Amino acid sequence: VRQFFASCFSTACKPFIRQVVMKEICQPGLEGAELPKAEHNMSVTKALLPGPSRLARFLEAQGERPGADFEALEAIMAGSIDSMLQAQFLASENSRPQPKQVAAALPRGLRAQLIGWTLQTFDVLGLEDALVHGIALTIDRFCASQEGTLPQSCLECLLLSAACIEFKNDGFSEQPDGTWKRILAHMCQGRVPIIQILTKELELLKRLQYIVGLPTPLTFLTSLGARLRMEEQAPQWLGLASFLLELAVLDVEIQHGFSHAYLAAGSLSASFRVCMAPALQREELLEDVAACWPLPGGESSKLVKCCEEELLQLWIQCERGLSELSSYFPKLEAKFKRRFHEAVMLPPAVALEALREERDGCEANLEGGAWQPEPEESPPNSIRIARPDRLME
């Protein structure tokens, strides 16, 4: 059972699974729960659920393989996997911070420096990317609860206390005694006493009402990618999707402007497109999203494509030096290429054009009219870049 959960969910989510599976899924009336803090209010109702997801059917099929004990155990979990993903979605939406509230307490540039430094440090230390995503979410939730701008003098201790929480949630008890303390001491070069970090950790926990270990976009990506493990190119697809989520975690507007589940789906959809995966992979991804986190009127597919477009645009902007986050891009790109240096991929601009043509073609078919060029002016609060042919002009 432990191996199965490890294959479907990030380790940072293990405490959440223990709490949610027994409480949230079985709690009466959960299906119509209110999501007051979510920018996109998407409560899951039984009336919208179309049936078992591809992941559930994949796990069920695993039990039919002769002599495979581990697969037989997975098949037992097939009936509850969708309910678990729905509970994760609700918990994530209830606690997702508003980007404006986060930016009011922690300016975007300063936040990017803090998270970017953590990404690089944890990469050097060989720690899991899931830890950084959990730390970023904890810090953002804390910032969103503040009434004013945080003083810069407290940011180092805030980062260390958030890391301390994630280390404990991640199960560092399996590591040698004092491992997490040594990592914290290394991160601050011994400048911050451990008692000060623990005091700040208690303050942070009280502010967050002791609700930690929540799913992040990377958690949802791990779940969506569980059924791909039989595919030869799965490591490359998931690796590129993780790269896009690492870019997104630096941008608070993209990170929290969308549902984390849909942001994960958008990153995987973009990865499929850039890596020229069979169209069937994207179709099955959209089927999983509609099964686990449905929206009325078929809006699930549109929202996934919207997230995909934002991520591709961010990638292109960073690559061309058009974004405030461009300084972090070379190291993140080098990290991805170090793992997949032989990957054959489309340029992100080509993938973005293909996405827009697909989207515009679908809209034209639905409206029963001819294709219309997109307007010159971008809608408010959207991040857009010029088409490649306009940039050349």
Query: Would you say residue 32 has pLDDT above 60?
Result: no
Top-confidence residue, 125 or 75 = 125
pLDDT at 79: 81
Spell out the residues 6+ positions from residue 267 whose beta carbon is closer than 8 angstroms to its own. Answer: 217, 221, 241, 242, 244, 245, 248, 307, 308, 311
For the cut 80, the answer to whether the pLDDT of residue 117 exceeds it is yes
Please name the residue that has the structure tokens 């009434």. 147
Output the pLDDT for position 294: 86
In the chain, the amino acid numbered 384 is R
Question: Distance of alpha carbon 57 from its chain centroid, rounded?
Answer: 23
Measured distance CA(331)–CA(314) in Å, rounded: 15
Out of 99-108, 119-128, 175-184, 382-391, which region has the weakest mean confidence (pLDDT)? Answer: 382-391
Report the distance separating Cα 328 and Cα 349, nearest Å.
19
Contacts of 344 (CB under 8 A, 6+ apart): 275, 276
Res 13 pLDDT > 70: no
pLDDT value at 19 more than 50:
no
Could you count the other beta carbons within 10 Å of the beta carbon of residue 158?
22
pLDDT over threshold 80, residue 114: yes
pLDDT digit string (tens) for 218-241? 999 999 998 898 899 999 999 999
303 or 71, higher pLDDT: 303
Looking at residue 194, the DSSP 8-state letter turns out to be H
**At residue 174, what is the residue type?**
E
Residue 385: what pLDDT?
A: 35
- Give the model's confidence band at 372: pLDDT under 50 very low, under 70 low, under 90 confident, else very high: very low
Q: What angle do CA 176, 181, 186 make, to 5 degrees?
A: 115
% of residues, the chain, pLDDT over 70: 74
Give the mean pLDDT of 189-210. Answer: 94
| Tens-digit pLDDT profile for residues 39-58 | 444 444 444 555 688 888 88
**Res 18: pLDDT:** 40
Give the pLDDT confidence of 89-100 residue by residue, as tens digits: 999 999 999 999
By C-alpha distance, which of 67, 63, 86 is closest to 4?
A: 63
The pLDDT value given to residue 353: 94
Please name which of 119, 112, 116, 128 lies closest in space to residue 9, comparing C-alpha atoms: 128
**Which whole number is the average pLDDT over 301-327?**
95
* pLDDT value at 383 more than 70: no
Question: What value does the mean pLDDT of the chain take?
Answer: 80
In this predicted model, what pLDDT tens digit does every residue of 56-83 receive, in sequence order? Answer: 888 888 766 655 566 667 777 778 888 8
Q: What pLDDT score was predicted for residue 70?
A: 66
pTM exceeds cut of 0.85: no
> What is the distance between the alpha carbons of residues 309 and 383, in angstroms, rounded to a whole number?
9
Q: What average pLDDT score do residues 103-118 get?
A: 95
Query: How far apart (Å, rounded) are the C-alpha atoms in residues 291 and 57?
Result: 11
Instruction: Please return the burial class of 191, using the count of CB atoms within 10 Å of its CB with bins 0-12, 13-18 and 19+.
Output: exposed
Higher pLDDT, 392 or 262: 262
Question: Per-residue pLDDT tens for 138-190?
Answer: 999 999 999 999 999 999 999 999 999 999 887 665 666 678 889 999 999 99
The Cα 238–Cα 113 span in angstroms is 25
pLDDT of residue 291: 87
Q: 378 versus 341: which is more confidently predicted?
A: 341
pLDDT in tens, 239-294: 999 999 999 999 999 999 999 999 999 999 999 999 999 999 999 999 999 888 98
